[in-house]
Amino acid sequence: MAEERKSFVRISDVLVAYALFVMQNYLTDVWGLSLINAALILNIWNGVYRVLPLFFLYLVDKYLGHLKLLVFTSLAYAAGITMVAVSTPPLAHATGTCKRYEPECVGRAQKGILIAGLALIAVGVAGNLVSLLPYLIWKRQSDGTSSGQGVDFYQIAGLIGVVVVPIAGAVALPYIRPPTLKFGIPAICSVVGTFLFLTGYSKYTDATPLYNSPLFDVFRVFVAASLKFFRSYPVSNRDYHGHKIGETEFTPTRCLGGLHKAAIKLAGEGTPTGKSWTLCTVAQVEEAKIAVRMVPMWMTFIVCGVVAAIGDTYFVEQAGKLNRNIGIIKLPIQVLLLARRSTKDWLGGMVTKLLKKFKAEWAPSYGIAAGMVCSILCCISAALVERKRLDVVRSDGLLDEPDKQIKMSIYWLVFQFVLLGGLEAFQENSVSVYYRDQSPGSIENYLVNIIRGVTGLGYMCSALSVYVVGKISEKGGRTNWFQHSLNRSRLDRYYWVLAGLSSVNLVVFVFVASFYRYKKPEEGRKTPDAGGGYMDGYTEGDQNRSCCCFC
């Protein structure tokens, strides 16, 4: 029942996504914020919900389990979107007399409620990213296959909703003009979906938390190695804790040899309990080393996050004032979100199939590089389209008329949204396969969420890049590229800067990936060791073998 009831929560997620897609326009048009300040709020929000999963994953493993986290974050999610709806001027104005959706009707109360609501939505989204799919998979496995059990109301409603709601949300919701209803309808659906999910809470079961996070083991390796910094290396590998698994002896890899000291067994030091800060197994040391050597590759994803950030802010602001008519039909802005997500889903499936077909260890790196190429093309396309839009603005004399519609079709933006979906498809699917093949299974989930967090850091750095580029652009008495309104700004030049930055980032990634020592996918099978960790299939006596890392 958990999976079927959770379908209602997923339906409300779709409606919330369509409503929040136009948040950039809401902040500039209703709140009266500048282009940059509105983008700053959204980029921080996007960054936070991508960073939080790493923290939540630790709580799941250490204390809560997936079900409790889902309950907490589902409540936060429903409360958050409700607060966003309540923060609109007609509902939250201090005197209750200002009913217009205009800046003078927005006071401190609305601002505080909206920011708090966005924070709670970030908590809800992060919780779903961490626990929704893992819990449903665990539940299905623990209950056995559901075939033959019949189809109940929740399954039928969930199936219909997941198919119909995205289409209805893209077409119908945008035509609801008052922000109170635009945010209120998803809020009602979210509250109902959460209520339906919680009605079956007493019947749900969950796996017992591990009470020991693999990420915690990585930190213990660094602490143990630091405490034994002045100790000499042992003569025999037998003096390393956990050097044997079954009947086979394993030799630590040569890279980052300083961390080996965490596994040195000293005189009088007994077998650790699994939480020792002075002694770790060889397997735990190897896992920590793999995580460290992946850091150079992680850093290249910051720029990908900076590029992705412009799709949720400046692209949407551009779309808000363009002509959306196709004949007599006026389509909503959300069709661009639909194009982006459809590209991501379709291309993501193709990428997964290709990576399964080409089982070479380097294949995921090619997929990541392809995503970075999409980011470069996205920025170039955006720069060219924005230059064309500004030409139309000048020719029609609309530089100081930011609210006037521009005689240019919104569908000029489709290509850059499609390329943005391509970036996300290549990156997410390739990274998942990469960590599945190259990392120990015990820390695979953490590594994937670290990448998500690094991308979220890129969203936050987008605000920093705007500040830095703006300051540089106004040197020598020139006009800052970022003005209060879109028509007075020069986003086309900023997009060219991002295209150049993405090109440099691609070169850096190729360099890092070229020096990475890959292990073949079939060698990626993990063997549990005596300490509860996982050890890769190294051969006995292979003293000089390089590990699967950037050396």
Mean pLDDT of the chain: 77
- Structural contact between residues 298 and 264, judged by C-beta atoms closer than 8 angstroms: no
C-alpha triplet 454, 457, 461: angle, nearest 5°: 140
Based on the fold, state whether residues 253 and 264 are members of the same structural domain. Answer: yes
Q: Percent of the chain scored above 90 by pLDDT?
A: 16
User: Of 212, 40, 177, 157, nearest to 101 (Cα)?
Assistant: 177
User: Of 448, 401, 143, 467, nearest to 297 (Cα)?
Assistant: 448
Start-end of H helices in 413-490: 414-438, 444-473
d(CA 306, CA 313): 11
Q: What pLDDT score was predicted for residue 374?
A: 93
Question: How many beta carbons lie within 10 A of that of residue 13, not counting itself?
Answer: 21
In a domain, 160, yes or no: yes
Based on the fold, state whether residues 148 and 222 are members of the same structural domain. Answer: no
CA torsion sign for 337, 342, 345, 350 is: negative
Task: Identify the band that residue 157 occupies on the pLDDT scale cut at 50, 70 and 90.
Answer: low
Highest-confidence segment of 83-92, 200-209, 296-305, 500-509: 500-509
Highest-confidence segment of 291-305, 356-370, 491-505: 491-505
In a domain, 542, yes or no: no
pLDDT in tens, 135-156: 777 777 666 644 444 444 555 5
Task: Identify the band that residue 252 occupies on the pLDDT scale cut at 50, 70 and 90.
Answer: low
pLDDT at 294 over 70: yes
Task: Identify the band that residue 59 occupies on the pLDDT scale cut at 50, 70 and 90.
Answer: confident
pLDDT at 172 over 80: no
pLDDT in tens, 67-87: 888 888 889 999 999 999 888
pLDDT at 182 over 90: no
Better-scored residue on pLDDT, 459 or 518: 459
Residue 102 is encoded by which pair of tokens?
Answer: 């205009």
User: Of 208, 253, 240, 243, nearest to 530 (Cα)?
Assistant: 243
Based on the fold, state whether residues 251 and 322 are members of the same structural domain. Answer: no
Residue span of the structural domain in which 405 resides: 294-516
Based on the fold, state whether residues 139 and 201 are members of the same structural domain. Answer: yes
Residue 67 is encoded by which pair of tokens?
Answer: 């079900």
pLDDT in tens, 263-277: 787 766 655 555 677
Q: What pLDDT score was predicted for residue 202?
A: 66
Q: Comparing 2-6, 415-419, 427-431, 546-550, which segment has the lowest mean pLDDT?
A: 546-550
pLDDT in tens, 320-379: 888 888 777 777 787 888 888 888 888 888 887 887 777 666 778 888 889 999 999 999
Q: What pLDDT score was predicted for residue 387?
A: 93
In a domain, 177, yes or no: yes
Based on the fold, state whether residues 303 and 235 are members of the same structural domain. Answer: no
Q: What pLDDT score was predicted for residue 535?
A: 32
DSSP β-ladder status, 322-323 and 406-409? parallel
Based on the fold, state whether residues 147 and 193 are members of the same structural domain. Answer: yes
Task: Identify the band that residue 442 occupies on the pLDDT scale cut at 50, 70 and 90.
Answer: low
Based on the fold, state whether residues 484 and 368 are members of the same structural domain. Answer: yes
Question: What CATH number is associated with residue 320?
Answer: 1.20.1250.20
Q: Comparing 114-118, 289-293, 460-464, which segment has the lowest mean pLDDT?
A: 289-293
Based on the fold, state whether residues 366 and 462 are members of the same structural domain. Answer: yes
Task: Identify the band that residue 96 occupies on the pLDDT scale cut at 50, 70 and 90.
Answer: low
Task: Identify the band that residue 528 occupies on the pLDDT scale cut at 50, 70 and 90.
Answer: very low
Is 409 in a helix, a strand, or coil? strand
Task: Identify the band that residue 524 occupies on the pLDDT scale cut at 50, 70 and 90.
Answer: very low
Q: What count of residues does the chain have? A: 551
In a domain, 100, yes or no: yes
Residue where a domain terminates, one of 182, 208, 234: 208
Task: Identify the band that residue 163 occupies on the pLDDT scale cut at 50, 70 and 90.
Answer: low
pLDDT at 247 over 50: no
Based on the fold, state whether residues 453 and 387 are members of the same structural domain. Answer: yes
In a domain, 137, yes or no: yes
Highest-confidence segment of 123-127, 252-256, 356-360: 123-127
pLDDT in tens, 306-322: 999 998 889 988 888 88
pLDDT at 511 over 80: yes
DSSP β-ladder status, 527-528 and 534-535? antiparallel
Q: What pLDDT score was predicted for residue 534?
A: 31
Based on the fold, state whether residues 92 and 224 are members of the same structural domain. Answer: no
- Structural contact between residues 56 and 130, judged by C-beta atoms closer than 8 angstroms: yes
Better-scored residue on pLDDT, 26 or 436: 26
Domain count, the chain: 3
d(CA 531, CA 291): 19
In a domain, 544, yes or no: no
Better-scored residue on pLDDT, 76 or 257: 76
Average of per-residue pLDDT across 44-66: 86
In a domain, 24, yes or no: yes
Based on the fold, state whether residues 287 and 300 are members of the same structural domain. Answer: no
**Phi, psi (rounded to 5 degrees) for 250:** -115, 140
Based on the fold, state whether residues 193 and 312 are members of the same structural domain. Answer: no
- Structural contact between residues 483 and 39, judged by C-beta atoms closer than 8 angstroms: no
Question: How many beta carbons lie within 10 A of that of residue 368, not counting itself?
Answer: 24
pLDDT at 493 over 90: yes
Residue 424 is encoded by which pair of tokens?
Answer: 């996300």
pLDDT at 237 over 80: no
The CA–CA distances, whole Å, from 48 to 104, 149, 348 equal 29, 41, 24
Q: Comparing 206-220, 296-310, 385-399, which segment has the lowest mean pLDDT?
A: 206-220
Average of per-residue pLDDT across 366-395: 92
Q: Comparing 5-14, 21-30, 408-417, which segment has the lowest mean pLDDT?
A: 5-14
In a domain, 521, yes or no: no
